[in-house]
């Protein structure tokens, strides 16, 4: 950061010095018109402004303007948000945001007009959090578009969006969106304060902020949800959470969350409650199985062969009888192979990735068994647990699950099932201690919030979701008013 500090220390004292300094960049323009009656100067970054607007709205007005004062010009220009500024630091800041500075006479005073060029890609369907049902609208990298998407989904006056700039170099705009009254003030204050205290040079993506705002940055568990789905953002805001939108990032951060919400796909809300509950439970079993399947294999094969039914023993022993490694080496070998495939697949273009999957999955898998490097039972287990780990709806959680398995395999090798239990206790203790913006991470389970269970491991129908989660401690506790039930309309087949 030395270069930056030196640059900062040599602050230009006049506008001319500043222009001279900035001119070292090729995209900086300082255009002076020295025609007798109409002399003016335009200062701007060509790479930041919209030239069409400059030519269409600004230049003709300046040329036709009779007056020589900036105030008059300010009155005529058909653009909003024009200001007259003489403070050098502010002028520089505005120029870097895409304003054009208009100078009519020598001196420090300039007219700043915002004609910044905003380019963003088109809206597209979310790629990471794909869903079959539900809206297919994902965030883009442009903050204004994202705010527009959210505001359109919650056209309510109490939807608040607070802006704050973070990053000393990147000057990234960050917007905290929440619904006043629904979100707890305490949570909003916490996040605003943490954002204000955030001191870093370049914020490349929202995940930077996510990692810096977390309560415990040593934890492997995500304490905020990264999402690109607008329905998920607004849905969580309606629970009482806030969303952090970051300029230049197509992911929003949602907090506070609890662990259960990491296992919820937003599609659950679009399916019937009974079916959604079933899938949630399946997902939870899958995640648990994904973490403990291979460690159990190691523990049982190394220490507790008694646990196998006698009839399975023959299959298992004969499949392992040619393998020269102990179970733990065997498991590590296959697990690392799967993670290699995953890493390689993530770095490759889609089409190459598919080939890679086939080569890796089928060729390596079969060859490994035929070469007696692994048993085919383990191959099934590893493939199943890899498959199960991808059922998590939040991408960061998938990584956590894949990561947790390795220390657990180590524990299983050292102490067998006791090791597995011990590691389970470590994780449980850690999760009980963990907080997300000061809210307990294992919330509806511990501390028990039984009233919140209606939408946790299962989901009850919407009629029963009258109360908002206690977890968020919002002021507005109900989602709808109880109305008198309409008398059931009797249909002909109901008649007695």
Partner 1 sequence: MKYVCSLLLFCFLLTGCVAEEIIDEVPILFIVGYDQGENGKVKGTISLQTFDPNQEVETRAFEAEAYTSKGLRNQLSGLPKPISIGKMAVLLFSEDMAEEGIIDILDSFLRDPAAGRLIYVGVVEGSASELIKNEFQYLQGIGPFLQNLIKQSVEYGNMPENNIHLFDYKYYGDGMDPVTPILRMEETEVKIKGLALYDDDKMVGKLNLDEMFIFALINKSFSAGLYELELPDGEYANLQKIKSKVKYKVENGNTDPSLNISVKLNGNIVEYTGEKLTKEKKTEIGQTFEKKVEAQGLDMIAHFQTLGIDPFSIGDHARSQTRNFDFKKWDERYPDLPVTIDVKVNIGESGIID
3-state secondary structure of 24: coil
On whether the CB atoms of residues 252 and 143 are closer than 8 A, the answer is no
What's the half-sphere exposure (Cβ side, CA atoms, 13 Å) at 234?
20
Tokens representing 146 are 């994202």
Least distance to partner 1 from the beta carbon of 411, Å? 7
Tokens 């249909």 found at: 491
Least distance to partner 1 from the beta carbon of 419, Å? 7
DSSP labels, 232-289 = HHHHHHHHT-EEEEETT-S-EEEES--GGGGG--GGGGTS-HHHHHHHHHHHHHHHHH
3-state secondary structure of 308: coil
Using the minimum distance from each CB to partner 1, give the nearer residue, 149 or 331. Answer: 331
Q: Which residues pair with 39 in a beta bridge?
A: 34
Tokens representing 125 are 């369907």
Using the minimum distance from each CB to partner 1, give the nearer residue, 76 or 418. Answer: 418
Write out the residues near partner 1 by the rule CB under 8 A.
Answer: 300-306, 308, 310-311, 313-323, 326-327, 411, 414-416, 418-419, 422, 426
Tokens 């963990």 found at: 434
Least distance to partner 1 from the beta carbon of 386, Å? 23
Using the minimum distance from each CB to partner 1, give the nearer residue, 136 or 430. Answer: 430
Using the minimum distance from each CB to partner 1, give the nearer residue, 426 or 446. Answer: 426
- Calpha distance 214→120 (Å, rounded): 29
Least distance to partner 1 from the beta carbon of 248, Å? 35
Q: Which residues pair with 100 in a beta bridge?
A: 113
Using the minimum distance from each CB to partner 1, give the nearer residue, 259 or 297. Answer: 297
Using the minimum distance from each CB to partner 1, give the nearer residue, 221 or 242. Answer: 221
Least distance to partner 1 from the beta carbon of 403, Å? 16
Helix (H) or strand (E) run with residue 339 in it: helix 327-347
Least distance to partner 1 from the beta carbon of 371, Å? 13
- Calpha distance 288→393 (Å, rounded): 14
Helix (H) or strand (E) run with residue 173 in it: strand 172-179
Helix (H) or strand (E) run with residue 385 in it: helix 376-389
With a CB cutoff of 8 Å and minimum separation 6, the contacts of 491 are none
Least distance to partner 1 from the beta carbon of 378, Å? 12
Using the minimum distance from each CB to partner 1, give the nearer residue, 209 or 300. Answer: 300
């Amino acid at each position: 950061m030395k270069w930056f500090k030196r640059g900062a220390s040599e602050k230009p004292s006049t506008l001319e010095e500043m222009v001279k300094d900035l001119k070292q960049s090729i995209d900086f323009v300082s255009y002076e018109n020295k025609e007798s009656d109409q002399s003016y100067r335009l200062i701007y970054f060509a790479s930041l402004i919209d030239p069409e607007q400059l030519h269409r709205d600004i230049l003709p007005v300046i040329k036709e303007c009779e007056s020589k004062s900036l105030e008059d010009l300010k009155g005529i220009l058909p653009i909003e948000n024009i200001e007259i500024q003489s403070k050098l630091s502010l002028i520089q800041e505005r120029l870097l945001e895409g304003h054009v500075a208009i100078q009519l006479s020598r001196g420090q005073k300039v007219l700043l007009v915002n004609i910044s060029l905003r380019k963003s890609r088109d809206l597209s369907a979310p790629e990471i959090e794909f869903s079959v049902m539900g809206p297919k609208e994902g965030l883009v990298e442009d903050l204004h578009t994202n705010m527009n998407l959210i505001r359109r989904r919650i056209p309510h006056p109490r939807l608040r969006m607070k802006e704050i700039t973070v990053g000393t170099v990147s000057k990234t705009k960050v917007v905290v969106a929440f619904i006043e009254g629904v979100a707890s003030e305490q949570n909003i204050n916490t996040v605003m304060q943490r954002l204000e205290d955030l001191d870093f040079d370049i914020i490349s993506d929202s995940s930077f902020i996510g990692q810096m705002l977390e309560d415990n940055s040593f934890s492997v568990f995500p304490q905020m949800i990264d999402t690109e789905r607008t329905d998920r953002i607004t849905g969580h805001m309606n629970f009482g959470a806030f969303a952090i939108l970051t300029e230049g990032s197509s992911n929003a951060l949602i907090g506070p969350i609890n662990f259960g919400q990491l296992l919820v796909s937003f599609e659950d809300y679009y399916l019937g409650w009974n079916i959604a509950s079933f899938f949630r439970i399946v997902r939870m079993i899958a995640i648990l199985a994904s973490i403990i399947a291979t460690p159990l294999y190691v523990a049982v094969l190394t220490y507790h062969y008694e646990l196998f039914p006698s009839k399975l023993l023959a299959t298992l022993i004969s499949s392992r009888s040619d393998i020269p490694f102990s179970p733990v080496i065997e498991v590590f070998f296959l697990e690392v192979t799967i993670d290699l495939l995953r890493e390689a697949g993530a770095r490759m273009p889609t089409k190459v990735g598919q080939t890679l999957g086939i080569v890796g999955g089928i060729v390596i898998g079969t060859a490994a068994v035929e070469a007696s490097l692994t048993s085919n039972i383990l191959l099934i287990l590893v493939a199943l647990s890899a498959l199960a780990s991808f059922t998590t709806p939040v991408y960061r959680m998938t990584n956590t699950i894949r990561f947790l398995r390795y220390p657990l395999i180590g524990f299983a090798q050292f102490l067998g099932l006791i090791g597995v239990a011990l590691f389970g206790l470590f994780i449980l203790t850690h999760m009980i201690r963990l907080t997300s913006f000061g809210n307990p991470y294992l919330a509806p389970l511990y501390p028990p919030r039984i009233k919140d269970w209606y939408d946790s491991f299962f989901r009850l129908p919407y009629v029963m979701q009258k109360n908002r989660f206690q977890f968020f401690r919002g002021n507005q506790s109900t989602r709808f008013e109880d109305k008198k039930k309409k008398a059931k309309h009797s249909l002909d087949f109901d008649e007695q």
